[in-house]
């Protein structure tokens, strides 16, 4: 496989969670005031609001189960190019790997710091409750100059709060989606390590560190995003129950927090990631 030759970074991830978990995300004063910048977005989707945790270079977006007709467990994983022409290169690589029928271009408009912006991307087709995409974002006044993620989120990132950046995301996928997502990772140039019970994809260096995605087999109701590992700006210890989810801060005495979306999320792969910090 011929890789695009430019880096593709983790953009953000989307997860559809239970009603109780979504309400806890929305209402937790500790999460909002102490842990991270937390915004409830009703502007772009007034009937389907989302809650977003904003970090320095990354973010996690949560919707309530049933939004847009999707069940709990529906998950999206996005890549972004900060290189001019990166979207075109990635789309070609993905079409070569997955077939043209499984890669769909899209264009969306949004607002970045009060300026109109156009998001152009390609979305990959999957069979289960999972979707993935790669995009570029530009202001309408400068359509050939992509905005970096830092430019997009810097206004909302709060370094005085605990959360710094996403380190890893754990996904539970069925065999067909797992195989196809591994193809996507390789097509955009992420390295892939295979283990007996899971595989891990690692991004290019991004601000001095890497992002990882750990893919384990879906078991029963455990599907989609199961866990997120988040680096901290400083050490503290805290445990916050968020509906069905649980946020454990200061895990194993390290500057790291673990958000378990699903109570039966596995441990082995995540512990390997934490050991490497």
pLDDT tens-digit series, residues 34-66? 999 888 776 555 567 889 998 998 899 999 999
Record the tokens describing residue 215, joined without a space.
Answer: 């893919």
Output the pLDDT for position 128: 84
User: Is the pLDDT confidence value at 195 over 60?
Assistant: yes
As a whole number of angstroms, the distance between CA 277 and CA 271 comes to 10
**What pTM was computed for the model?**
0.91
Return the percentage of the chain with pLDDT > 90, whole number: 58
> How many CB atoms are located within 10 Å of the residue 217 CB?
14
User: Is the pLDDT confidence value at 9 over 70?
Assistant: yes
Q: Which residue carries 């005495």 as its tokens?
A: 253
**Partner residues linked to 192 by β-bridges:** 201
Question: Could you tell me which residue, 201 or 223, shows the higher pLDDT?
Answer: 201
Q: Yes or no: say if 2 and 189 are a contact pair by the CB < 8 Å rule.
A: no
Output the pLDDT for position 141: 64
Tens of pLDDT along 226-252? 999 999 999 999 999 999 999 999 998
DSSP character string of 89-131: HHHHHHHHHH-GGGEEEEEEEEEETTEEEEEEEEEE--SSSEE
Report how far Cα 82 is from the mean position of its chain's Cα atoms: 17
């Amino acid at each position: 496989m011929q890789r695009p030759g430019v880096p593709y970074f983790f953009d953000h991830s989307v997860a559809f969670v239970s009603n109780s978990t979504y309400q806890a995300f929305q209402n937790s004063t500790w999460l909002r005031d102490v842990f991270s910048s937390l915004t409830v977005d009703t502007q772009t989707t007034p009937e389907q609001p989302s809650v977003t945790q904003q970090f320095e270079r990354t973010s996690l977006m949560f919707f309530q189960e049933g939004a847009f007709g999707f069940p709990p467990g529906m998950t999206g994983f996005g890549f972004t190019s900060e290189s001019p022409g990166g979207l075109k290169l990635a789309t070609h690589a993905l079409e070569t790997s997955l077939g043209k029928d499984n890669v769909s271009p899209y264009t969306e408009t949004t607002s970045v710091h009060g300026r109109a912006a156009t998001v152009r991307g390609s979305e990959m087709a999957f069979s289960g409750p999972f979707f993935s995409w790669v995009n570029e974002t530009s202001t309408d006044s400068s359509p050939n100059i992509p905005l970096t993620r830092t430019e997009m989120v810097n206004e909302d990132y709060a370094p005085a709060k605990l959360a710094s950046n996403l380190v890893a995301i754990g996904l539970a996928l069925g065999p067909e989606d797992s195989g196809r997502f591994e193809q996507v990772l390789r097509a955009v140039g992420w390295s892939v390590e295979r283990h007996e019970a899971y595989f891990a994809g690692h991004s290019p260096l991004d601000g001095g560190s890497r992002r990882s995605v750990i893919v384990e087999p879906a078991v029963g109701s455990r599907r989609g995003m199961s866990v997120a590992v988040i680096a901290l700006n400083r050490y503290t210890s805290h445990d916050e129950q968020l509906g069905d989810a649980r946020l454990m801060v200061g895990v194993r005495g390290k500057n790291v927090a673990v958000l378990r979306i699903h109570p039966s999320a596995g441990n082995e792969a995540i512990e390997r990631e934490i050991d490497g910090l």
